[in-house]
Structure 1
Amino acid sequence: MNRILYVYVKGGAPLEYAFPRIAACGELHVLALAPLPAAARDAWLPSCTGITEVSAPPRGDALVELIVEHAKALGADAVLTLSEFAVLAVAHAARRLGLAGAGPGILRARDKRLMREAWVAAGVPVPRFRRVDSERELSAALAELTPPLLLKPAWGAGSVAQLVLDSPQDAGPAWSQIEDALRAGRHVGMDELYAPDTDRDRLVEEIAQGSTEGWYEEPGYGDYVSVEGIVADGVYHPLAVTAKLPTVPSFVEVASTSPCVLPEPLQRRIEEVSRRAVDALGLETCGTHTELKLLPDGQVVVIETAARFGGLLTLRQLEEVFGVDPLGLLVRELLGERVDHPPVMPVTVTGAGRVGAAASLAVVPVDAAGVPWRTGPVWNPAAVDWQRLLSPGSTIEPVPAFALPSGRPVPVFDPSGGSRNWLGVYLLTAVDAATLRRDCNAVLNGLEAALHHAATI
């Protein structure tokens, strides 16, 4: 039987979803570089043939050596991770082992500065940007580029430590604030494990003035999308366009939705730009998650590409709606098996899935318009009457691994905190895309009051 080594670090799909699908392709062995979640342990543990926990894992080349030696001892036929913070180390390990993996292009898919430079060279549309390695360089970039600008860490993920800047006077405070946000990210295990000394590797870029005008026929969607896909032996296979609800400042995602309701010609335009972006990175075999901004003139610019699948419940959304298992497809590719990818990227629901529409909803202490909660209720989701917030036929399911412990006061929203603001993540399903959008907004707008109401019962 095939033996598969999964390198666990915080991030990616919930283990109760991912592990059974990986284990369906062979024996699943886990090398845990961070504490495994206790949440839903009974659901994911039976899928594991073996687990090795490393209490103080090394970094850099020593980490790659650890993965290589562990894979050799197991006789692993494939090695993978779903975490942004481990993809670089795992790709290097796979290459040393002679196994399929993302390949040397992984560095361009991890360092956002190299990523954008590769896109510029390939003619892929991107916002103007500058590398900034010091406060002085940031001040110079603020004078040169057109604000508003977005300052971000080159090795970040999950919207952590991203700040919006409006003038050169913002440089000093922003440089200090991003330092604080990066330290907070490290404290919860959200930092790069292979590349050394990454904290001062940053870039600043113009914020593309996005618009849904000319794109969506219905209001209420965000002006950006993502394309989920797989690169198999250098060939890109886009799987679906995922729509988004509007972000809340500073660019904190609250919901991704499937299916995307854009007309097919517009989805094909997005698909083609995504293909150019992924091809320019030179990846070999991996999952991909590409984010694109919609512009008012019918054009798009590329924001990010990751050499791994989108996090949260993105994979489950696709399986629920389109009936496709991206993770199973990728693992079989890594094992060298024959895989029949969808001949074309699906753009409408054909009945292959189980629900009409599905969303990953990240609940944060703001409403759908981005207004922070005015109070600090106690977080007690089990006491909330969720069905009162939803439409008939809709369902909502919590993801235990992403839940704030019950009984704590809801913390104040931190605009630079990204995913650290999550109170909980939920799979929301509905009969159709319009109902799904309505229900996502209803939860965001009604949860603060629902928590207060639950406390009075």
Structure 2
Amino acid sequence: MDVAIMGHYRADRLVTALRRHDAERIWLCGPVDVRAGLGPGVRYRYLAADAGVDDVLALWAHVGAQVVVPSLYPLQQEQLLHTLATAAQLVAAGGRRVHVHPPAFAEAVSDKVLFHRLALDRGWPVPEGIVCEDRTELAAALRQLGPPVMVKTGRSVPWEGRWYLDGPDDLGTADGMVFPVVAQRVCRGEEFGVELLTDRGSTLRWPIASFGPLDARCMPGWRTRLMPAALPTTVRHDLDAFVTDVTDLLAPCGAWQIDMAVEAGELRVLEVNGRFGGMAHLSRAVTGIDPYQALATAALGGRPPTPTAVRVAAELPLSLGAHLPADDAVRVEVERPSPTEPCLPSHFHRTLVVADDPAALADWIGGLPAGAWADHVPPAADGRSTPPR
């Protein structure tokens, strides 16, 4: 069976998984050729990040793959998701299995303004917010919501198209703002995330990850991440209801991810993405089931196993020259940028630490010297950067 991978993000993990399923020929399709890191036998076809539906259909016809699965790089290819969804609808009866989300889901998760409006209509627990069509409306929203406020453009990518504003005077610093935007009251509390895979009406969930206290930079990758993390019972029930409503209404097909916060004991859905997020290393380490292996299995028509937590893991932002203690009870892996995962930081190391015993993990993290932490991250004194015993 021939398989076409759309995009290059973590394509090495998808290629490895597809080979385990005896894929006969694998095509990498996207704006970046990373075959050098994928092993022999992978073929490449260029597809621009802003390609249209006709371009996608022509490429699929050329490569002739029976299965198509996306692996879109968030910083350049996120908006291609809706294009793939539209193209998939046009070939639905053509004998090709295109494992991508339908247009309604793809559009909702690709446009933050549309998602906010949909959330208000459905009663989803998003932060209090106002859609603004121009700067006058935005200034009024800042006064109504009260500073600070997070402003997001509709179609933006991670780390871009969003502004943290302490008040109307900060509007002058918001260069490049394209309206409409959604202005949301900044949430306080702890940030969490979860990765999901939906296929043929069934949804798998990996364990919840904690990203620590929310901060003005909105950069969870700069904080300590911990998995598994527990949610309050009421929040867990609200999350279940949200996932059920999304799947019933929008029928996702493939990988997705929810970014959320718990504020004063209540769920706040911050964002939904139509792909796996930054938790995939944690998800694999904690459950032994790689989300990308599961994605490949589902794309080829199989049923992936249900992921459950069998160990604990943390991702720590550590300095480049950090001395890491040796301990047989923990496994340590420094995550470095690569052609298939170029968005990892280079000015500090995200370091994955895995243990069977939560106490062993907590002891190892607690034993790190102060200088081991990256400059932007002070050692935690409130327990949020160390797992519970």
TM-score (norm 2): 0.79
Counterpart residue identity of residue 247, structure 2: D
Q: Counterpart of 1:59? A: 50
Q: Which moves more between the two structures, 28-37 or 70-79?
A: 28-37
Deviations 1:308-357 (A, max 9, x none): 1113xx2232222212232232233333x241552xx73x42xxxxxx33
Task: Check whether the contact 1:236–1:278 (CA below 8 A) recurs between aligned residues.
Answer: no
Query: What is the rounded CA distance, in whole Å, between the counterparts of 2:29 and 2:129 in structure 1?
Result: 37
Does residue 429 (structure 1) correspond to residue 350 (structure 2)? The answer is no
Deviations 1:38-82 (A, max 9, x none): xxx44x233x5311235xx37352xx3222222122222222223
CA RMSD of aligned residues (A): 3.5
Change (3 A) 1:112 1:152: same
What secondary structure does 2:218 align onto?
A: coil
Aligned length: 359
Change (3 A) 1:247 1:265: closer
Q: Counterpart of 1:4? A: 3
Q: Counterpart of 2:330? A: 393
Deviations 1:332-388 (A, max 9, x none): 3333x241552xx73x42xxxxxx33334456x8xxxxxxxxxxxxxxx4xx35325
Change (3 A) 1:256 1:333: farther
Task: Check whether the contact 1:87–1:308 (CA below 8 A) recurs between aligned residues.
Answer: no
Instruction: Structure 2: state its 5+ residue gaps.
Output: 93-97, 376-389
Task: Check whether the contact 2:260–2:271 (CA below 8 A) recurs between aligned residues.
Answer: yes
Q: Counterpart of 1:19? A: 15
2:259 to 291, 301, 305: 291
2:87 to 85, 93, 116: 93
Deviations 1:381-434 (A, max 9, x none): 4xx3532598973413232328999xxxxxxxxxxxxx7965255341232446
What secondary structure does 2:213 align onto?
A: coil
Counterpart residue identity of residue 323, structure 2: W
Q: Counterpart of 1:103? A: 102
Does residue 154 (structure 1) correspond to residue 154 (structure 2)? The answer is yes
Q: Counterpart of 2:186? A: 207
2:296 to 315, 321, 331: 331
Deviations 1:194-241 (A, max 9, x none): xxxxx544321111232xxxxxxxxxxxx0111211121344332321
Q: 1:101 offset after TM fit, Å?
A: 2.0
Query: What is the rounded CA distance, in whole Å, between the counterparts of 1:123 and 1:165 in structure 2?
Result: 26
Task: Check whether the contact 2:147–2:167 (CA below 8 A) recurs between aligned residues.
Answer: yes
Task: Check whether the contact 2:154–2:180 (CA below 8 A) recurs between aligned residues.
Answer: yes
Does residue 114 (structure 1) correspond to residue 114 (structure 2)? The answer is yes
Does residue 318 (structure 1) correspond to residue 283 (structure 2)? The answer is yes
Counterpart residue identity of residue 202, structure 1: V
Q: 1:90 offset after TM fit, Å?
A: 2.2
Q: 1:156 offset after TM fit, Å?
A: 2.3
Q: Counterpart of 1:453? A: none
Identify the structure with the greater strand proportion.
Answer: 2
What secondary structure does 1:400 align onto?
A: coil
Q: 1:272 offset after TM fit, Å?
A: 0.9
Change (3 A) 1:147 1:36: same
What secondary structure does 1:72 align onto?
A: helix
Q: 1:302 offset after TM fit, Å?
A: 0.8
Does residue 305 (structure 1) correspond to residue 282 (structure 2)? The answer is no
What secondary structure does 1:236 align onto?
A: strand
Task: Check whether the contact 2:336–2:346 (CA below 8 A) recurs between aligned residues.
Answer: no
1:29 to 27, 30, 35: 27
Between the two proteins, what is the percent identity of the paired residues?
A: 17
Change (3 A) 1:434 1:280: farther
Deviations 1:142-175 (A, max 9, x none): 122232210122222323343221222222222x
Task: Check whether the contact 1:242–1:257 (CA below 8 A) recurs between aligned residues.
Answer: yes
Instruction: Structure 1: state its 5+ residue gaps.
Output: 180-198, 211-222, 350-355, 366-380, 406-418, 450-457
TM-score (norm 1): 0.68
Q: Counterpart of 2:378? A: none
Q: Counterpart of 2:386? A: none
Deviations 1:108-135 (A, max 9, x none): 1111111122222222111121223432
